[in-house]
Amino acid sequence: MMLDNPPISFTWDGLVRGYVKTLPIAIGVAVFGMAYGLLAGQHGLSLLETGLMSALVFAGSSQMLALQLWDDPVPVAAIVLAAAIINLRYVMQTAALKPWLGRLKPALSYGAVFFNADENWAVSIAEMRAGGTDAGFFLGSGLALWSFWLVAGLIGRTFGGLLPAPERLGLDFIGTAVFIALTGRMWRGRRDLLPWLVAGIAATVGQAILPGAWYLLVGGLAGSLVGAWADTRKEARHGA
């Protein structure tokens, strides 16, 4: 008989198992990490700055968007706001892991949350729903992605800096290509059509009337609000 609230552990064995199980995914993430490193070099970031952004931010879509917004002077407010909008989904994701994280010491729980990403969250949720009770699995899976992302970014920055003219090889398009790939992975079906359409229209209008890259934030905020409204309506109908 399975207990409703089984005891939760946090062990080294669980951490290692989470790391190893996530390695195949981490290898795929490394491809995007190298693209980020290459793009960072094109925007003038040093090897140290490229590594620090990956190590301290660890959010691929936010890092790529930050580079798209990068200018002189750096628009700090715009970048922070853009990152906040993109990463709001992590609040809901980590809340779903409360059966594991809610029974750990705060320092350990919040430390593990730092390493949350879409891929290791999905792996950890599957492990938890299968009856897993070792929360170390979540941290291990996150560390796998983090380590591969960091190293791949440094490799991309190092070798990208050796290319005399990346645009001649078409590599100046790499930021756009990565965003297209990332959005394709986020598509959930027809329910995303309306917020994506609103985001596209708002960004197009914003580009025509706003300076700089603020149109990206306008599009992202508009799409997020419409998506939240649609999800709220759906939940209300199901709860009625």
Nearest to 19 by CA among 167, 139, 126: 139
Neighbours of 6 (CB within 10 A): 11
What number of other Cβ atoms are within 10 A of residue 131's Cβ?
8
Q: State which H helix or E strand residue 159 sits in.
A: helix 136-160
Higher-confidence position of 12 and 163: 12
**Do residues 32 and 153 lie in contact, with contact meaning Cβ atoms separated by under 8 Å?**
no
| Mean pLDDT of the chain, nearest integer | 82
pTM confidence score = 0.74
Q: Which residue has the higher pLDDT, 56 or 2?
A: 56
Give the per-residue pLDDT at 85.
77
- Find the helix or strand (DSSP H, E) in which 214 lies: helix 214-239
Does residue 41 contact residue 159 with C-beta atoms inside 8 Å? no
pLDDT at 166: 53
CB 18 within 8 A of CB 138: yes
Nearest-angstrom CA–CA distance, 204 and 180: 17
| Residue 163: pLDDT over 90 | no
Does the pLDDT at position 182 exceed 80?
Answer: no
Per-residue pLDDT at 2: 43
Whether cis (ω within 30° of 0) applies to the bond prior to 73 is yes
Report d(CA 28, CA 24) in Å as an integer: 7
Cross-strand bridge partners of residue 9? 134
Tens-digit pLDDT profile for residues 133-149: 999 999 999 999 999 99
- Distances in Å between the alpha carbon of 22 and those of 25, 153, 169, 199, 211? 5, 18, 33, 33, 42
CA separation, residue 176 to residues 56, 61, 93, 121, 145 (Å): 23, 11, 26, 25, 22
Looking at residues 175-183, what average pLDDT do you find? 57
Tokens matching residue 234: 């759906």
